[in-house]
Amino acid sequence: MSLIKPNIRNLVYYCLFLALAFAIPIHGKLIPPVIALIGLSWLLEFNFKEKFLRIKNSIKSRYIISFGLLYVFYIIGTFYSNQLYGMEGAFFDLEVKLSMLLFPIFFSTIDFSGFRKDFFSMVQKAFIAGCIISTIFLFINAVFRYVTDNNVTQFYYTDLSMFFHPGYLALYYSFAIAIILNRLIKKQQRKTSKKLLAVVLILYFQVFIILLSSKAGIIGLILIYILAIFFIIVRQKKFSLYTFIISASLTASFIILLLFFPYSYNRIFTARQALETEEQLPASTRDGSVARVFIWESSIEIIKENFLFGVGTGDVKQSLLKKYKEKHIELALEEHLNAHDQYLQTFIAIGFIGFLLLISSIILPAIYAIRYKNLLYFLFLSMIGFHLLVESMLERQAGVVFYAFFNVFLFYFTSDNKDQ
């Protein structure tokens, strides 16, 4: 029996989930208190038998709870880890990744049927609002710093990004664009004024993605536009001129905008040149893009040495640092860099089964999204799948919470909202 009246309980959950979506792109310190309040509300329901029955009697709930299986393997990985404590130990790693278990539990046991019907839409709008507030903070901060030192680089890359690595902010803004693009393609915005606002917001976020100068963010956004066309053609088995015009126009506008910001364009051009001459450069190079290639090579060597079970949840960083030292990858050694690829990072930590679980958690839901014609979920998974290739996203709260929350959120409402 619940200790809280259903109407009050539903309102509290409703507000907290909206607050979480709003807080994710603003500041990491806002997120733990919101998740803690959601957890407290979940406990105060005190209807654990009902929660268990929801999992037992619902196929959807059982699918959702299975998303937490990867976290279970990270727990198992602590039993053969040498380093358990500290910022690089197994227990801290489990704390960072806890959202991967909590959100599957929440969404498989909470009764969302009593929520307001606009919940699915409002969570998306709350996230977009959070992204807008985030960009305002970034711009104001950049202006103040520019006035102080008269340096235009305050509007670019890490100087612009205050509370997150630029790659994560670029990912957030790309997802905001995906939400808006999905509404445009589905023709949910029928009024001209709303369509115009949607286009303006997309262009606005495009500018900030360019200013953030994240190579993954820039490539990832172009990927979104291409996949939007691909999704419509494959799922509806016909060419959509409307979708093609929207996606092609936005892609063209993004590329044109990129050319107007030489700092951002040069980062991509320089990285390309460096990668083309990678074989001629030593492992001790200070170029980040080339160093990343050497990091991946080192990661693969560790995987070959610990293929089946990995090195353990808490021993990944030490194994990488040891390999960096052997191969003289100075940049990675000095900055204690992770594998910069979540697939490799997970493989190193918990072995082949963990790697398969991570891959499956992207591919199987993507097939599910295609089946139910959920473009937004498909674009989200595509973005995550791509960013996991170039960043160890699940090693930071900024990546874990974003992925864990929106993954189960979009999965939960996919079959119930086929047209979303």
The answer to whether residue 38 sits within a structural domain is yes
The answer to whether residue 327 sits within a structural domain is no
Distance in angstroms (rounded) separating the CA atoms of residues 191 and 360 = 40
Residues 100 and 129 in one domain: no
Which is more confident, 46 or 105?
105
What letters, b where the CB count within 10 A reaches 16 and e where it falls short, cover 312-344?
bbbbbbbbbbebbeebebbbbbeeebbbbbbbb
Tokens in use for 177?
A: 């664009």
- Model pLDDT, residue 195: 83
Domain boundary among 65, 97, 114: 114
Residues 58 and 124 in one domain: no
Whether 287 shows a pLDDT value over 80: the answer reads no
The answer to whether residue 156 sits within a structural domain is yes
Residues 235 and 139 in one domain: yes
Domain boundary among 114, 132, 165: 114
Largest CA distance in the chain: 68
Residues 127 and 270 in one domain: yes
The answer to whether residue 149 sits within a structural domain is yes
Residues 18 and 154 in one domain: no
Question: From the CB of residue 364, how many other CB atoms can be counted at a distance below 10 Å?
Answer: 13
Contact at 8 Å (CB) between 376 and 179? yes
Q: How far is CA 61 from the centre of its chain?
A: 22
Name which of 366, 360, 323, 367 is nearest 343 in CA terms: 360
Residues 77 and 126 in one domain: no
pLDDT 10s digits, 399-418 = 999 999 999 999 999 866 54
The answer to whether residue 360 sits within a structural domain is no
Contact at 8 Å (CB) between 320 and 339? yes
Residues 255 and 152 in one domain: yes
Domain boundary among 80, 114, 148: 114
Residue with tokens 């050694």: 333
Share of the chain above pLDDT 70, in %: 89
- Model pLDDT, residue 149: 86
State the pTM of this model. 0.92
The answer to whether residue 39 sits within a structural domain is yes
**Domain range for residue 247?**
119-276
Residues 28 and 105 in one domain: yes
Distance in angstroms (rounded) separating the CA atoms of residues 244 and 214 = 26
What letters, b where the CB count within 10 A reaches 16 and e where it falls short, cover 221-238?
bebbbebbbebbeebeee
Distances (CA, A) of 308 to 122, 206, 272: 43, 42, 34
Name which of 388, 296, 312 is nearest 354 in CA terms: 312
Distances (CA, A) of 213 to 64, 145, 170: 35, 18, 8
Residues 134 and 225 in one domain: yes
Rounded mean pLDDT, 37-59: 91
Distance in angstroms (rounded) separating the CA atoms of residues 390 and 215 = 10
- Give the DSSP letter of residue 163: S
In a 13 Å sphere around the CA of 123, the CA atoms on its Cβ side amount to 20
Residues 126 and 241 in one domain: yes
The answer to whether residue 379 sits within a structural domain is no
Residues 147 and 32 in one domain: no
Residues 138 and 220 in one domain: yes
Whether 268 shows a pLDDT value over 60: the answer reads yes
Cβ-count burial of 262 within 10 angstroms (0-12 exposed, 13-18 middle, 19+ buried)?
exposed
H helices present in 110-165, as ranges = 119-149, 157-160
Q: How many distinct structural domains can be found in the chain? A: 2
- Model pLDDT, residue 306: 94
Mean residue pLDDT of the chain comes to: 87
Question: What band does 282 get if pLDDT is binned at 50, 70 and 90?
Answer: low
The answer to whether residue 211 sits within a structural domain is yes
Which of 8-17, 232-241, 256-265, 296-305 has the weakest average pLDDT?
A: 232-241
Q: Which of 249-258, 260-269, 374-383 shows the highest mean pLDDT?
A: 374-383
